Structure 1
Amino acid sequence: KSPLPTRDAAIDLGVSGPIAGFLVAIPVTAIGLKLSIVVPPSMVPQTEGGVYFGTNLLFELLTRAVLGIPEDYVIFLHPIAMAGWVGLLVTFLNLIPVAQLDGGHVLRAFISERAHRIVTYVTAFVLIGMSYLWSGWFIWGLLVLLIGSAGNPGALDEVSPISKKRITLAILAAIIFILTATPRPIWTT
């Protein structure tokens, strides 16, 4: 609850949780994929009411590395794979660079409070616009508007330079954000 003393501390705060969650989600996802059932499309019953999980770059890479199957096959995810997928999704959502989310703390270390507020509001409206892909983005956009109104005051010391180690951690967080980005997380038929 106390203010962050330095921009390095803001980056540490912002990257620690997502990196830890990411490192746990990778093996959980890989184990779950190994336990999943893979079938050719011809063996999938043509029924209505299925639940489909969206994908991201990392999930695709893990699927190819662990299962090594042709693209047209259908994967019935094991519950452990679903848990890993959820872990990757939560990591992505937490790294959205807005307001008080972890990604917001990292971005705020690099830009002014005013610029951060603009990024937060623009992102909120982009998320609302993305609700045509997944209706949940509408809710996320509203939440970002709500928590964004409180702002992100940043560190007490915004003059001292950011260390190279923290810049590297911020780049790593951005790479994780890109790898876990899931534009359409879940849908049903």
Structure 2
Amino acid sequence: MTKITPKVLARHLLLFIATFFTVTLTGALVYAPGPMPEPVEDTFAWYWAFFSQGFYFSIPFLGILLAHEMGHYVVSRLRKVDTSLPYFLPFVPAILGTLGAVIVMRGQRNTRKDYFDIGIAGPLAGWVLAIGVMWYGYATLPPAEHIFEIHPEYEAYGTDYADYVFDPEVMLADTALADSLVGQIYFGTNLTMKFFEAVVADPERIPPQREIMHFPFIMAGFWALFFTALNLLPIGQLDGGHILYGLVGAKRQRIVSATIFLGFIMYAGLGLINPYSPPMVLAWQLPGYGFFLFFIFRGLEQSIPTRIMTALAVLTFQFGFAFFFPEVTGFNGWLVFAFLLGRVVGVYHPVAPIDVPLDRNRQILGWIALIIFILSFSPEPAWMP
């Protein structure tokens, strides 16, 4: 087992501190629970008042992320699998301020049980904490009028502002309103959020989905569930891939993972190409997207002729579907993740040296993980109108 020296610990700690800074700044810029602080003579005091608003997002979100990674780490150590401490990855303060966190496993996992236990520990640990954070966020929602502190331009429309301010005709007539919404990012939902809205939250205080970004505990829970769902996709060496392999073995895993991978791309690419576009546009869109599909289908480990046929089949389906149902679209942003799956992560799972089926308790946990995936997944996590 690799020893954790002071130098190694310092490296991981510095990455965490950098990530904490970028995520906190993101929280202040995007998910602040209140308006921008009023200008004061003390510049440092103003910056601190602004920056500290980001703690409401960064502390719960990174706490959940840390719980997820430490779940993997602790179980790996218990299984005598040589594993690094979590590497937190800072990023520009845009939507999250981080690319997440990873641990590096250097040791051999010898059984399906090893893969399963290590794979499921992270999502379960993170999910439990995310549920607690989201519960708190919905249980402590401020009065509906709180939004007027952030968007004073909404006050003229009263507490029913959501019926008006997002109407294009109203925006055309109210330039101040239109200017305030330029470049705003809207966030999706999932079944867990729907549950908390129905059971925990005061119905009179539930904000419109388009304003949910001003409630940092809910957003921390939302993004934590988003990454939990991504990791639980039963493909390759994602956590869900480890769980699926442990449940059904290598042969069935290959069939199920390939099917889900293809279905994922089918959904993600819907609406990307408009069959009613001018011929000159289609002349470069169709071959360009077809090559992209061929490129990412490398993860299916097919021969080149088979990859070409698979890419053409998917392209034909999506083009034909858009022709007959142009109003139905997928979330094209998922194609970026599909690229990572097809070219980096891989679709299939390595085979353990000792291929022994799981016991009943672990099988039950595996199906619980599937339920968690369904409750956490957001088909359209974020978009700009």
Answer whether TM exceeds 0.5 for this pair.
yes
Specify the alignment match of 1:30 in structure 2: 135
Specify the alignment match of 1:101 in structure 2: 238
Question: How has the CA–CA distance of structure 1 residues 84 and 176 changed in structure 2, closer, same or farther, with 3 Å as cutoff?
Answer: same
Question: How has the CA–CA distance of structure 1 residues 17 and 119 changed in structure 2, closer, same or farther, with 3 Å as cutoff?
Answer: same
Which range moves more in the overlay, 94-103 or 115-124? 115-124
Shift of 1:120: 3.1
Specify the alignment match of 1:88 in structure 2: 225
> Separation in 2 of the partners of 1:167 and 1:58?
23
Q: Which runs of 5+ in 1 are unaligned?
A: none
Specify the alignment match of 1:187 in structure 2: 383
Given that residues 99 and 120 in structure 1 are in contact (C-alpha distance below 8 angstroms), is that contact kept between their aligned partners in structure 2?
Answer: yes
The amino acid of 1:19's aligned partner reads L
> Separation in 2 of the partners of 1:147 and 1:118?
19
Question: Which of 100, 114, 134 pairs up with 2:331?
Answer: 134
The amino acid of 1:139's aligned partner reads V
The amino acid of 2:128's aligned partner reads L
Given that residues 261 and 347 in structure 2 are in contact (C-alpha distance below 8 angstroms), is that contact kept between their aligned partners in structure 1?
Answer: no
> Separation in 1 of the partners of 2:225 and 2:254?
26
The amino acid of 2:343's aligned partner reads L
Question: How has the CA–CA distance of structure 1 residues 152 and 161 changed in structure 2, closer, same or farther, with 3 Å as cutoff?
Answer: closer
CA RMSD in angstroms comes to 2.6
Correspondence 1:64-79 to 2 at 5 A: 64-69=198-203, 74=208, 76-77=211-212, 78-79=215-216
> Separation in 1 of the partners of 2:377 and 2:338?
16
Question: How has the CA–CA distance of structure 1 residues 143 and 150 changed in structure 2, closer, same or farther, with 3 Å as cutoff?
Answer: same
Count of residue pairs the alignment pairs up: 188
Highest CA radius of gyration, 1 or 2? Answer: 2
Give 1 or 2: higher strand fraction. Answer: 1
> Separation in 2 of the partners of 1:112 and 1:73?
45
Give 1 or 2: higher helix fraction. Answer: 2
> Separation in 2 of the partners of 1:37 and 1:146?
47
Q: Which runs of 5+ in 2 are unaligned?
A: 1-105, 146-157, 167-177, 271-329
Shift of 1:110: 2.9
Same amino acid, percent of matched pairs: 31
Q: Which has the higher contact order (CA 8 A, sep 6+)?
A: 1
> Separation in 1 of the partners of 2:197 and 2:241?
30
Give the TM-score normalised by the residue count of structure 2.
0.44
Specify the alignment match of 1:162 in structure 2: 358
Given that residues 232 and 240 in structure 2 are in contact (C-alpha distance below 8 angstroms), is that contact kept between their aligned partners in structure 1?
Answer: yes
Question: How has the CA–CA distance of structure 1 residues 150 and 122 changed in structure 2, closer, same or farther, with 3 Å as cutoff?
Answer: closer
Question: Which of 337, 340, 350 pairs up with 1:153?
Answer: 350
